[in-house]
């Protein structure tokens, strides 16, 4: 018999197989399989055979496999989809099975892309500035697709309405300004910042220096924060600081009003050191001694403060009037030349003609550093705001906060003033 016997019936092939000593059920199974192939090949019309749709025949109980649900390898996690009243400085967080090959795009209602920084390690997109108030944004996260999973996820959210209570943020330093190596960066707030919000505020304040220098912020008070490097600024550095507080929560429904940025320069190193023992001021410029000046410090009843201060203000000609503060017997009203303020309590470096005869020998001032008229002008012509002066040996310690006393603390003490320490 030829192969035509297989096509006609499986029984004809079973008999000779049995006579050959083979197991009949194996041959019968082969015949059934062959029949299936022939049946499948012979049904190419529009109708499916009954065994495929489960309506008839021996395959009537079979079910076609359900399609695998399409999932995503990426997902937007924060803000939640369709979230409302989202704070304007929100970070956009996402999940991804392949962060390195994942991108994030944020667009406003007009389709304009939001600029920002993508941190793939933290899986966070941080907008470069606060988002617009009362605006709907769409986030699209695109990653790699895997079998049965999509590589794209999209979600939308809407920011909060513009708050009625906003905190003013300011800094009196300006772009292009040149300051001394002891100049702290100073930012002031129009309202006290509660302690629990200071860390978030501080995170939005960045400082960049060229060359790079280690530094930190330090809260002077609830309304003022300073920044200084570990040691004096390196001479001729370029320093910029960005304060991005628009929309940042500051407690009790108050939010930052705006951002600000300042680019300034550090000048030459000009450092003044005063010793009560010798009653001399040593002046160093870029590390080299350029002058030694006789001084008269505060008399015993009104001693000068020992500590490190910086020049905060300069007035070539002014009037010291302490009558209202000290009374007519102790107070005085005197014209002063070449005054340089170093404390809020009224201590200055200034020229004093009346004490020139004892400068270098006796302390007679009300707490100021007296120098001659000639040396007062010499100093005034060379100093700038932020130049440091250190006084030692007077027996009266400088109180922190009485001036820009950032350098009157050790580095470890200063770091403790950071909300992020």
* Cα 306 from Cα 279, distance rounded (Å): 13
- 183 has a pLDDT exceeding 70: yes
Amino acid 33: pLDDT: 35
Residues 6 or more apart whose Cβ sits within 8 Å of residue 36: none
Closest CA to 167 of 224, 115, 226, 220: 224
For residue 334, the tally of other CB atoms under 10 A from its CB is 12
Closest CA to 248 of 294, 180, 198, 209: 198
For residue 63, name the pLDDT band (cuts at 50, 70, 90).
low
Mean pLDDT of 216-236: 98
DSSP 133-169: TT-EEEEEEE----TTEESEEEEEEEEPPPPS-EE-E
Amino acid 323: pLDDT: 74
Q: Which residue has the higher pLDDT, 147 or 290?
A: 290
* Cα 75 from Cα 150, distance rounded (Å): 10
Amino acid 73: pLDDT: 86
Decide which of 2.60.40.3710, 3.30.420.40, 3.40.50.970, 3.40.50.2000 is the CATH code for 166-267.
Answer: 2.60.40.3710
- What is the architecture of the domain spanning 72-159? Sandwich (2.60)
61-75, 131-145, 194-208, 344-358: least confidently modelled range: 61-75
Mean pLDDT of 284-299: 98
The Cα angle at residue 172 between residues 166 and 176, in degrees rounded to 5: 125
* Cα 194 from Cα 88, distance rounded (Å): 20
368: annotated active-site residue: yes
Asked if 72-159 and 270-407 have one fold, the answer is no
For residue 76, the tally of other CB atoms under 10 A from its CB is 24
Amino acid 148: pLDDT: 74
Amino acid 34: pLDDT: 35
pTM: 0.78
- 15 has a pLDDT exceeding 80: no
* Cα 201 from Cα 208, distance rounded (Å): 17
Closest CA to 102 of 113, 114, 112, 92: 92
Rg of the chain taking only CA atoms, in angstroms:
41
* 23-51 confidence digits (pLDDT tens): 433 333 333 333 333 333 333 444 443 33
* Cα 332 from Cα 313, distance rounded (Å): 21
Residues 6 or more apart whose Cβ sits within 8 Å of residue 234: 181, 209, 211, 213, 266
Protein fold of 270-407: L,D-transpeptidase catalytic domain-like (2.40.440)
Average pLDDT, the chain: 86
**Is the Cβ–Cβ distance between 364 and 332 less than 8 Å?**
no
For residue 354, name the pLDDT band (cuts at 50, 70, 90).
very high
For residue 145, name the pLDDT band (cuts at 50, 70, 90).
confident
Amino acid 29: pLDDT: 35
Q: What tokens were used for 53?
A: 């749709």
- 330 has a pLDDT exceeding 80: no
Q: Which residue has the higher pLDDT, 76 or 44?
A: 76
For residue 270, name the pLDDT band (cuts at 50, 70, 90).
very high
For residue 137, the tally of other CB atoms under 10 A from its CB is 21
The one catalytic residue in 218, 226, 350, 366 is 350
Amino acid 65: pLDDT: 53
For residue 400, name the pLDDT band (cuts at 50, 70, 90).
very high
- 59 has a pLDDT exceeding 60: no
* Cα 374 from Cα 360, distance rounded (Å): 15
- 395 has a pLDDT exceeding 80: yes
- 386 has a pLDDT exceeding 90: yes
350: annotated active-site residue: yes
* 80-99 confidence digits (pLDDT tens): 999 999 999 999 999 998 89
Q: Which residue has the higher pLDDT, 230 or 331?
A: 230
Q: Are strands 149-150 and 71-72 parallel, antiparallel or unpaired?
A: parallel
**Is the Cβ–Cβ distance between 223 and 189 less than 8 Å?**
yes
- 149 has a pLDDT exceeding 50: yes
For residue 128, name the pLDDT band (cuts at 50, 70, 90).
very high
Amino acid 292: pLDDT: 98
The one catalytic residue in 218, 226, 366, 368 is 368
**Is the Cβ–Cβ distance between 208 and 239 less than 8 Å?**
yes
> Where do the structural domains in the chain lie, given as residue ranges?
1-35, 72-159, 166-267, 270-407
Mean pLDDT of 316-326: 83
């Amino acid at each position: 018999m030829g192969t035509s016997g297989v096509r006609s019936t499986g029984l004809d092939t079973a008999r000779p197989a049995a006579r050959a000593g083979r197991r009949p059920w194996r041959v019968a199974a082969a015949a059934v399989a062959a029949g299936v192939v022939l049946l499948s090949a012979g049904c190419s019309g529009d109708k499916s055979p009954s065994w495929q749709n489960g309506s008839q025949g021996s395959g009537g109980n079979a079910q076609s496999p359900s399609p695998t649900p399409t999932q995503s390898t990426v997902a937007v996690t924060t803000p939640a989809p369709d979230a409302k009243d989202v704070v304007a400085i929100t970070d956009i967080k996402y999940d991804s099975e392949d962060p390195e090959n994942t991108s994030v795009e944020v667009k406003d209602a007009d389709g304009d892309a939001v600029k920002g920084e993508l941190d793939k390690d933290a899986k966070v997109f941080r907008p470069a500035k606060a988002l617009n108030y009362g605006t709907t944004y769409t986030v699209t996260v695109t990653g790699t697709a895997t079998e049965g999973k999509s590589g794209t996820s999209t979600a939308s959210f809407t920011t909060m309405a513009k708050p009625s209570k906003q905190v003013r943020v300011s800094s009196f330093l300006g772009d292009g300004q040149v300051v001394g190596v002891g100049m702290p960066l100073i930012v002031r707030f129009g309202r006290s910042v509660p302690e629990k919000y200071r860390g978030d505020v501080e995170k939005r304040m960045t400082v960049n220096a060229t060359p790079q220098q280690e530094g930190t912020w330090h809260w002077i008070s609830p309304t003022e924060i300073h920044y200084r490097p570990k040691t004096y600024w390196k001479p001729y550095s370029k320093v910029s600081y960005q304060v991005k507080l628009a929309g940042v929560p500051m407690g009790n429904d108050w939010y930052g009003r705006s951002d600000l940025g300042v680019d300034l320069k550090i000048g030459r190193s000009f450092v003044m050191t005063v010793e009560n023992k010798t009653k001399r001021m040593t002046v160093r410029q870029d590390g080299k001694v350029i002058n030694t000046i006789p001084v008269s410090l505060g008399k015993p009843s009104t001693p000068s403060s020992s500590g490190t201060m910086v020049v905060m203000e300069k007035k070539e000609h002014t009037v010291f009037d302490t009558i209202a503060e000290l009374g007519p017997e102790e107070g005085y009203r005197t014209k002063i030349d070449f005054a340089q303020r170093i404390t809020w309590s009224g201590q200055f470096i200034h020229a004093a003609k009346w004490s020139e005869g004892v400068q270098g020998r006796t302390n007679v001032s009300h707490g100021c550093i007296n120098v001659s008229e000639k040396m007062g002008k010499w100093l005034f012509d060379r100093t700038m705001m932020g130049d440091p002066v250190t006084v030692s040996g007077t027996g009266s310690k400088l109180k922190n906060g009485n001036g820009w006393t950032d350098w009157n603390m050790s580095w470890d003490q200063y770091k403790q003033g950071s909300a992020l320490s």
